[in-house]
Structure 1
């Protein structure tokens, strides 16, 4: 459904999201009205959300300390990086858990059901597209090349798989779960794994093992509808995210075959935005690794970052009809 012309853009994100600020400045310069809301926190800090339903009609309002918004006049919703629904901080125990749950289903449900609004992306589509098994299945149907992949909690299957990969195998987590050691936040990076390293602990939960691609470099493709922005990433690390200060990024052209697969993937997953990661071999084969439906993009070269910000602003202002032509 097309965005409501002349309505406001609703941005769902936390207070310190500097990436969102890049787009908001563009919209401000275009004089597009914007309301910013952190649905996980702001209702506890003075914001009020109301929705009314009756036969043949619905209406709603959002009031923040500085704005009042008719929910029927929202032209688009940008789901960026909202805080999780954790309940009011003055509550504790079951009371806080109850309030958090009611907010998730109530506030989250209202904001995901705005008539006529164009979502970038719809929060339910974001969540569905974050499952790595679903990503791999959609990527296969879209025409991407895929590294051989095994997801299992069977140690024997894992050992057999890793031993069968002539170029080696890697392990990657299925989700970036919060983890601490000695009070310090830890990150699980993609790493090489050998059959002898696999033990009974694999049985505790599913693990993702993948054939290691003999890559010449990585590529990040940021898709905003039909507009693609790609950078080649040269890094000394298997996982370039581990030491981003050491990587080099240069713009690169996306092959037609990959561009068609990106479009098919976005269509399957009902996404308006996606951050695709590829490993590219020396012979020019692009292997799909994953698609983050809400990936960060402001770390790229200034010209690329600026172009992505403009494309997202176009999408939020005009919807898909004009921006995808």
Structure 2
């Protein structure tokens, strides 16, 4: 693959969304190299030099090799973290840091590459407070939101807003008896709040009295909106109870989407909205590496083709 204009896809071993995109790229004759940054250095190696033209060199796996200067685009999905289990704790911590700033620094510095999305920009967008603030500036309706570690502030917020939900600010891996768990969105009352709130930061938000949810997938400048009907507070807790309908966005939503994307310099975003009883769309969040392909078989929307078009084009 060396000296060919290739697409890099950075993700973990199990990623059905990446699988379908890779298949489409192969069908179009576009060279692809898939790797997980967590494979470094066991089955992934890097050789890069800093020049006046930027970072040049190569990435190698046992199956593929790519010229860094010839990478046309990089699809940054969901790679695993670096790990050095054979090293002592301090040595492993040092090695992880060097890998992150070494290989990671090379990946984010490719000279002629379109990033979907650039890891630095996606990282900025993953902070919920900054995402909510950017959404409000972009023109979206945003429910009243509180981020705090003060129990009294939460009680006062609930008193002002009556129906309030708790959301995790992020969902890291959380194992219970070896099984991965997710902290669910849940409604809270003032009597639920105790001093344990002071232990860390929390996000509380006024509950939108919704009739449906909408997942909006933005790929480049293409917008795909899917209404999700269910009786669930958080539709992600039971996919078997969901009904999907492609819809058009109401006036003002599309321009706000582009303004939000431009703010974070994103080329992909998975937006979640709650639709209230008046038909208004309330911004909940945007995931810069969210899932999207499961909606294509349900709706027939050509999202895989749109993503492949974006990755195939040269910057």
Q: Is the 8 A contact 1:297 1:305 kept in 2?
A: no
Q: Distance in 2 between matches of 1:205 and 1:93?
A: 26
Counterpart in the other structure of 2:91: 95
Q: Distance in 2 between matches of 1:69 and 1:305?
A: 34
SS in 1 for 2:282: strand
5+ residue gaps, structure 2: none
SS in 1 for 2:141: coil
1:35-50 alignment, distance < 5 Å: 35-45=33-43, 47-50=44-47
Q: Distance in 2 between matches of 1:84 and 1:169?
A: 35
Counterpart in the other structure of 1:243: 238
SS in 1 for 2:120: helix
Q: Is the 8 A contact 1:221 1:276 kept in 2?
A: yes
SS in 1 for 2:143: coil
Counterpart in the other structure of 1:211: 206
Residue in structure 2 matching 1:191, options 179, 186, 193: 186
Counterpart in the other structure of 2:138: 142
| Structure 1 position 26 matched with structure 2 position 24 | yes
Q: Distance in 2 between matches of 1:70 and 1:181?
A: 43
Counterpart in the other structure of 1:113: 109
Counterpart in the other structure of 1:272: 267
Shift of the alpha carbon at 1:299? 2.1
Shift of the alpha carbon at 1:70? 1.0
Q: 1:109 to 1:180 in 2, by over 3 A?
A: same
Q: 1:309 to 1:185 in 2, by over 3 A?
A: same
Shift of the alpha carbon at 1:220? 0.2
- Runs of 4+ in structure 1 off by over 6 angstroms are none
SS in 2 for 1:86: coil
SS in 2 for 1:287: strand
Q: Distance in 2 between matches of 1:306 and 1:85?
A: 36
Residue in structure 2 matching 1:295, options 287, 290, 298: 290
Q: What TM-score does the superposition give when structure 1 sets the normalisation length? A: 0.92
Q: Distance in 2 between matches of 1:199 and 1:183?
A: 28
What are the superposed Cα offsets for residues 25-76 of structure 1, whole Å, 9 maximum, x if unpaired? 111111011111111214312x221111245664211111122211000000
5+ residue gaps, structure 1: 321-325
Q: 1:303 to 1:29 in 2, by over 3 A?
A: farther
Bigger mean CA offset, 135-144 vs 95-104: 95-104
Q: 1:58 to 1:188 in 2, by over 3 A?
A: closer
Q: Is the 8 A contact 1:112 1:123 kept in 2?
A: yes
Q: 1:218 to 1:56 in 2, by over 3 A?
A: closer
What are the superposed Cα offsets for residues 87-145 of structure 1, whole Å, 9 maximum, x if unpaired? 3x332422222211111111100011000100000011111110000001100110000
Counterpart in the other structure of 2:60: 63
SS in 2 for 1:50: strand
SS in 1 for 2:307: helix
Shift of the alpha carbon at 1:184? 3.3
Counterpart in the other structure of 1:80: 77
Q: 1:251 to 1:271 in 2, by over 3 A?
A: same
Bigger mean CA offset, 8-17 vs 131-140: 8-17
SS in 2 for 1:237: coil
Q: 1:171 to 1:58 in 2, by over 3 A?
A: closer
Q: What is the aligned-residue RMSD (CA, Å)?
A: 1.7
